[in-house]
Amino acid sequence: MSENYQPHAIEVKWQQKWEDSRLYRSQVDWDKPKHYALTMLPYPSGDLHIGHWFAMTPSDARARWMRMKGYNVLFPMGFDAFGLPAEQAAISRNIHPWKWTYANLERMREQMRSMGAMFDWEREAISCTPEYYKWSEWFFKRFYEHGIAYRGSALVNWSETLQTVLANEQVIDGKDERTGQPVVHKMMEQWFFRITKYADELLNFEGLDWPEPIKIMQTNWIGRSEGARAAFHTAVGNHPIEIFTTRPDTLWGATFMVLAPEHALVDVITTPEQRASVDEYVKETALETEIERMLEHREKTGVFTGAYAINPVNDEKIPIWIADYVMITYGAGAIMAVPGHDQRDFEFAKAHDLPIRVVIQPGDMTEALTVEAMSAAYDGPGVMVNSDAMDGSLSSDAKGRKNPAIARVIDWLEATGKGEEAINYRLHDWLISRQRYWGGPIPMIYDGDEIIPVPDEDLPVLLPEDVDFMPTGRSPLTYHEPFFKVDETRRRETDTLDTFMCSSWYQLRYLSPDCDAAPFDAEEAAYWLPVDVYTGGAEHAVMHLLYTRFFTKVLRDLGLYDDAVAAMRRHGRDPEGAFDEPMTILRNQGQVLGGERQGDFVLCSGRAVGERMLAHRVEVVDWNQVPPGFDGVFGELAHRTEDVLHVEMAGITQFVKVERDAEVIIPDIPGKNNVNQLRHHLEIQRMSKSKGNVVNPDELVEKYGADVVRCYLMFNFDWQKGGPWNENNIKGPQGWLHDVWDIVVAGAPTSPGAADAERDIERKLHQSIAVINRGLEDFSFNTAIAEQMKFKNYLKAALREEKIGARCWWEIINPTLRLLAPFAPHIAEELWARLGFDYSVHTQSWPAYDAEKAREEQVDLVVMINGKPRETIPVDVDIAKELAVTLALESAAAKRSLSGEAPKRAIFIPGRNGTDPKVNVVV
RNA sequence: GCCUCCGUAGCUCAGGGGUAGAGCGCUCCCUUGGUAAGGGCGAGGUCAUGAGUUCAAAUCUCAUCGGAGGCUCCA
């Protein structure tokens, strides 16, 4: 017998050989079609985890498949290496961010090599290197010159924990998305990117093959709404209050106004009598977190300012209130309240006894809407009433100008100068400055009030290395005088760039990571762009994925792709649309979750103290092995908090407090045990160190080999969904690869083979090729591998029955290894070499699907009686309708049910793509 | 509350108007000189529930129940 499959021996060998022979070097070749496959670059946090493997290895398999199909494939990798964790490591462990980052990065790069992926490491880009961030700075300057980057004052999110401002996209439910700590609103002067200028274009996903949820999330985030803007003047003094409304047709129903408590005019317009209560309310809301404020079904609180506004459409004097249900961050931070037709305003009016007026009368109701009878605001269609000249206008369900009443009112507002059509976005400009050290410097200098960009020839502004990390929480740059002090009057910007800016263009840097004349080489860009397939997590939907689209569009409008466009033309390719979007196809992988784990079955002895037991002895035993007469607490350890055990038996939880010096016996763990070593029940949930359900890929590779781990990850999950880890299932892919190994190293059989079996295995091979192709195309890696297993099973059975001859064996094994190559690159390469084929299997062509060879010849004609299958008759694959019906009617089943009568109908269903032909006899 | 996706074998998932499928797991048998293994045989499903359309529904339609994700005082 031949030797066994020993993954480690071959994997390291081939990884070295691939590297030495530069097998994965990708270079521009205008004679070949290109394919730019990209997976989101990792942050160098320390160790590669199973999620990285899950994200990267299936993408690698697909990239390899594309390469074998004849594409010139670019599949680069790099690191998103700026960010707070490095700085926190510096503060807490006194390691410089450079050192911490580089150590992690080198470690992760080594771990990534063990994947056997086809990354072209010669194109690696690392965002924290001066060679990289020079161009992040350079882009910032170009943006500044064209008014895309600007310094402005705005209410921003300040994180006390992180001591920096954050972009809106990084704040979820009022909390920082990374640490989950609350943020506060602060008025600050910061650097912004004018992403709102691109809001409408970003809403257009034409030509993008992206997951629907991502498009929806971006659309929601941008939050476009059409309506009108109008100014309400105060009755006393001249303080116009800007409002935005999507319902200008209800302007005549405005019976009061509401300002957000943070609104700048609150202080100005409040009357002395109301001053105390207004101040009190403003103070209260300032203390509320965003979360509290956004709770549903909250009581509508608010206070009167004492001031009045004049409704511009009917000169009515209406009171101005402040209330926390109006958000300073949305629209103008002030609203006209129309309680008759807006539920929130209705609730507020009811709570504070404010007048309600009907200005839209539902047309189809027999009884007219009256304020007295209303129990809720009416927001349906109808006819405008109580609205002077606009009365009678039809207000439909439609939004914006599509609604005739709204269109008419907008026209009237514009004609009379009382207001204008307006579009409001939820999206705000992108706040890109951070009060942190470990980020790309912003290349700006302040001279008094004047802002002076650093000249291009002085880029990059280097991050100083000799900085002190003081526990003040402040960026070391703010007290590093050599850095910020340019001269006596000029001071350098000490804020740094949001790391999302660096990752907004990394797909361009891969094109030419060593280029020092430009951020990217035009010729390379012309050939490779855009990214054809982008894979990564869905959590970046409104951050990275929105930012990078914005970035691409800005670069295009600034003419930064002009050279690339010219190069495309030179090479006879159409540049139309090539630089509008960064990534054509986007797919999100799901998440590998921690598997479910049974808790230890424990026997606790001790004495009862009130409701719970105070235990002096806890023993772990085999499941349900309770000694007769045991009178303590026993059951599964469901949960543990410190030394309190939650022991569950038959759905009842009992609490056991374990004494400090109690005896803990865990048979599987030798030596003296303690309460912390008890294993509690684990639900299926995200992997995290604190939950103790993390899977270490290095250990898996050590145990099973990289190929098995790759295949397990592709096979055991629906890639786009993810799911719970179950190491037991790794035996499937392991057995498969072992079998393939055995089949190949056993060599060609000596038996002569049987023609029909050989024809059959050839047919099965081609049927499998079709399924595998579809699986890879659709990112259904699991079905592609299941199909390969299935084919292996057929082949194995045929070989065992000695029905395959030597010639057929060679004809089958060769494509089998090529089909295997993208999934398990090492074993495929090893077996390929052992059979004496030319290096490398990865540069071979992908087996072509031959429909003729895949075609079945004999099939079963299914005879159905009233839709129920009753009998099968073997027939030719392309049996004609007449013959099929005749055969069916002559079948025993048909004769039995017809018993001499004529059938009502006989319906012939020809077999197509693999299904058998059928005849349904209706009796 | 709204939007999107999803309920198929014990598990993970394919399929999808026309005979209910794969891998793993499981039962039983064989092997014990491939051995933290190998081989063989087999069992397992009212395709979430209810109604409708159809000669025929797991598949299409509607409703209900259950799950996952996203949005949510958006003026």
Q: What is the pLDDT of residues A487-545, one digit of tens each?
A: 999 999 999 999 999 999 999 999 999 999 999 999 999 999 999 999 998 888 888 99
The two structure tokens encoding residue A7: 């993954």
Residue in the structure block whose two tokens are 């189809």: A364
The answer to whether the bond into A670 is cis (omega within 30° of 0) is no
pLDDT recorded at residue A626: 75
Hits for CB < 7 Å against strand B across A residues 217-236: 217, 220-221, 223, 225, 227
pLDDT digits (tens, 9 = 90+) for A713-756: 998 888 888 887 877 778 888 888 988 998 998 889 888 888 88
10 Å CB burial of residue A871 (0-12, 13-18, 19+) is: middle
Residues of A (270-329) placing their beta carbon closer than 7 angstroms to any atom of strand B are 293-296, 298, 300, 324-329
Of A35-39, A91-95, A633-637, A742-746, the poorest mean pLDDT is in A633-637
Residues 762-801 of A with CB under 7 A from strand B: 780, 782-783, 786, 789-790, 793, 796-797, 800
CA atom of A908 to C1′ atom of B55, Å: 11
User: Across residues A396-421, what is the average pLDDT?
Assistant: 92
Helices vs strands, H then E, count in chain A: 28, 39
pLDDT in tens, A749-793: 888 888 888 988 898 899 889 889 988 988 888 888 888 888 898
- Nucleotide closest to residue A729 (CA–C1'): B24
Is the C-beta atom of A731 closer than 7 angstroms to strand B? yes
Q: What is the pTM of this model?
A: 0.89
HSE on the CB side for A710, CA within 13 Å?
27
What Å value separates CA A905 and C1' B61? 26
> A372 Cβ partners below 8 Å, 6+ apart?
none
Report the interhelical angle of A706-715 vs A697-704 (nearest 10°): 110
Lowest mean pLDDT among A87-91, A827-831, A842-846: A87-91
> Dihedral (C-alpha) A769, A773, A775, A778: value to the nearest 10 degrees?
-170
A344 touches strand B (CB under 7 A): yes
Residue A99: its pLDDT value, please? 92
Q: Is the CB of A244 under 7 A from strand B?
A: yes
Whether the CB of A729 is less than 7 Å away from nucleic strand B comes out as yes
* A619 contacts: CB under 8 Å, gap ≥ 6: A602, A603, A605, A664, A665
CA of A86 to C1' of B12 (A): 38
Give Cβ neighbours of residue A233 (< 8 Å, ≥ 6 apart). Answer: A239, A240, A241, A309, A310, A312
Separation in Å: B57 C1' and A871 CA:
21
Average pLDDT over residues A410-438: 93
What is the signed CA dihedral for A832, A833, A837, A840, rounded to 10 degrees? Answer: 80
Measure, in angstroms, how far nucleotide B67 C1' is from residue A681 CA. Answer: 22
Task: Beginning with the edge strand found earlier in the chain, give each strand of the sheet holding A685-686 in spatial order.
Answer: A685-686, A591-594, A722-724
Q: A698 pLDDT exceeds 60? A: yes
A123, A132, A525 from A518: Cα distances, Å: 16, 11, 12
- Within A 474-513, residues with CB less than 7 Å from strand B: none
Give the closest residue to B36 (Cα–C1′). Answer: A703
What residues contact A810, with CB distance under 8 A and at least 6 apart?
Answer: A748
Region class of A97: left (phi > 0), else alpha (psi between -120 and 50), else beta: alpha
User: Are A118 and A60 a contacting pair, CB within 8 Å?
Assistant: yes
Q: Distance between CA atoms of A92 and A689, rounded to whole angstroms?
A: 19
Bases on strand B under 7 Å from any protein CB: 3-5, 11-15, 18-20, 22-25, 34-40, 55-57, 69-75
* Higher per-residue confidence, A702 vs A650: A702
State, as a whole number of angstroms, the distance between the CA of A211 and the C1' of B74: 24
- Report which of A463, A403, A470 is spatially closest to residue A434, judged by C-alpha positions: A463
Which nucleotide is nearest to A228 if distance is taken from CA to C1'? B75
Asked whether residue A2 carries a pLDDT value surpassing 60, the answer given is no
Distance (Å) from CA A793 to C1' B44?
21
A295 nearest nt, CA–C1': B73
pLDDT at residue A371 greater than cutoff 80: yes
Please write the tens of the pLDDT for every residue from A551-585: 999 999 999 999 999 999 999 999 998 999 999 99
Confidence of residue A1 (pLDDT cuts 50, 70, 90): very low
The amino acid sitting at A27 is Q
Overall size of chain A counted in residues: 923
Per DSSP, the three-state class of A835 is coil
Cα–Cα distance list, A288 to A295, A344, A347 (Å): 11, 20, 21
Q: Å between A219 CA and B4 C1'?
A: 13
The separation, in Å, between residue A897 CA and nucleotide B49 C1' comes to 33
Please give the pLDDT value at position A197. Answer: 94
Instruction: State the pairing for strand pair A490-492/A722-724.
Output: unpaired
Residue A226 pLDDT exceeds 70: yes
Rounded distance in angstroms from the CA atom of residue A296 to the C1' atom of nucleotide B3: 18
pLDDT band for position A683 (cuts 50, 70, 90): low
Q: Identify which has the larger pLDDT, A29 or A677.
A: A29
Q: What is the pLDDT of residues A850-873, one digit of tens each?
A: 888 888 777 888 888 887 777 788
CA distance A89 to A83: 11
Nucleic chain B contacts, protein chain A, residues 49-88, CB cut-off 7 A: none
The per-residue pLDDT for A643 is: 73
The Cα–Cα gap between A294 and A865 comes to 61
Q: In the numeric block, which tokens belong to residue A542? A: 């409104």
| Nucleotide of closest approach to A224 (CA, C1') | B74
Distance A736 CA to B36 C1' (A): 18
Strand B at less than 7 A from CB of A701: no
Q: Which nucleotide is nearest to A724 (CA to C1')?
A: B12
Among A140, A900, A830, A185, which Cα is nearest to A495's? Answer: A140
pLDDT at A690 over 70: no
> How many Å from the CA of A782 to C1' of B27?
27
Question: Which amino acid residue lies closest to nucleotide B70, measuring CA to C1'?
Answer: A217
Å: A825 CA to B19 C1':
39
Which letter, b or e, does each residue of A245-279 get, where b requires 16 or more Cβ atoms within 10 Å of its Cβ? bbbbbbbbbbbbbbbbbbbebbeebbeeebeeebe
Query: How confident is residue A912, by pLDDT bands cut at 50, 70 and 90?
Result: low
pLDDT(A652) > 70? no
Q: Assign A165 a pLDDT band (cuts: 50, 70, 90).
A: confident
Quote the percentage of chain A above a pLDDT of 70.
Answer: 95
The full DSSP string for A489-528 is SEEE---EE-HHHHTTSHHHHTT-TT-SSSSS-HHHHHHH
Beta strands in A551-651 (DSSP E): 583-588, 591-594, 601-609, 612-621, 633-641, 644-649
Å from the A530 CA to the B74 C1': 34
Picking from A243, A345, A261, A338, the residue whose alpha carbon sits closest to that of residue A304 is: A261
Q: Which of A461, A481, A256, A243 is nearest to A352 (CA)?
A: A256
Can you tell me the distance from the alpha carbon of A608 to that of A717, in angstroms, rounded to the nearest whole number?
47
**Mean pLDDT score of chain A:** 88
Residues 796-855 of A with CB under 7 A from strand B: 796-797, 800
Residues 425-444 of A with CB under 7 A from strand B: 426
CA to C1' distance (Å), from A6 to B33: 20
Q: What percent of chain A has pLDDT over 90?
A: 49
A413 pLDDT higher than 90:
yes
Please check the confidence at residue A672 and state whether its pLDDT lies above 90. no
Tell me the mean pLDDT in the region A25-53.
Answer: 93
Joined tokens for residue A876: 């030719």
- Average pLDDT of the residues in A75-82: 96
Q: How far is the CA of A618 from the C1' of B67 (A)?
A: 37
Per the omega criterion (within 30 degrees of 0), is the bond before A530 cis?
Answer: yes
